[in-house]
Structure 1
Amino acid sequence: MKISQKDLGIKIGIDPGSASGRMNHYETGRHMPDIAILKKMATELNVPVNYFFCESEESATLACLIDKLDENGKRKLIQLLQAK
């Protein structure tokens, strides 16, 4: 996303002295951020919260594309997928 761990941490309100370390722990799976931190990260990175739980690049891309649809577009996509 072209932002350093430290910069992201600082932007979401983590103390600058520990931002890099905490974000590294989240990224490597040593610690799991709480939902409030995940929401802040999602907002800062312009992705939906479920993006962080995607297990493949394709799923992450779909999560972002679906999130950008308006409600009508989401309903149409659901109908299309259910028709298959």
Structure 2
Amino acid sequence: MASNQVWARRLRAAREAKGLSQKQLGIEAGLDPSVASTRINRYEMGVHRADQPITQKVAEVLNIPVAYLYADYDGLAELILTFERATAEQKAYLLEVAARIRAGSQ
């Protein structure tokens, strides 16, 4: 599982890419407006990590898969995002390539 620092870095990058402030993200994810900014800031600083329900809501707001936040390696995180944003045809192709790679490594 990704360390708090990796999780925090990915959260911040996704939030900034979406153009949301920490407070906006927190409010849209259902946090109380009076603590939204502070909570997201603590998540992004790696002080705390959100529990699964909040992580799910944050991912929905940011339009990213939850797995992106938890991926151990940056390359894997990028593959997760690529797969999530791909068309059905592209996903089928990516899965074919993955199957070929697995078959070749046996």
TM, length-normalised to structure 1: 0.81
Equivalent position to 1:32, from 43, 49, 70: 49
Relative contact order higher in (CA < 8 Å, ≥ 6 apart): 2
Q: After the TM superposition, which parts of structure 1 deviate over 3 Å for at least 4 consecutive aligned residues? A: 69-76
1:46 pairs, out of 63, 74, 77, with: 63
For structure 1, the 5+ residue unaligned runs are none
For residue 47 of structure 1, report the CA deviation from its aligned partner.
0.5
Q: Which amino acid aligns with 2:60?
A: T
Aligned pairs, how many?
Answer: 83
Identity among equivalent pairs (%): 36
Task: Using the TM superposition, give the Cα deviation of residue 65 of structure 1 relative to its aligned residue in structure 2, in angstroms.
Answer: 1.5
Alignment RMSD (CA, Å): 1.8
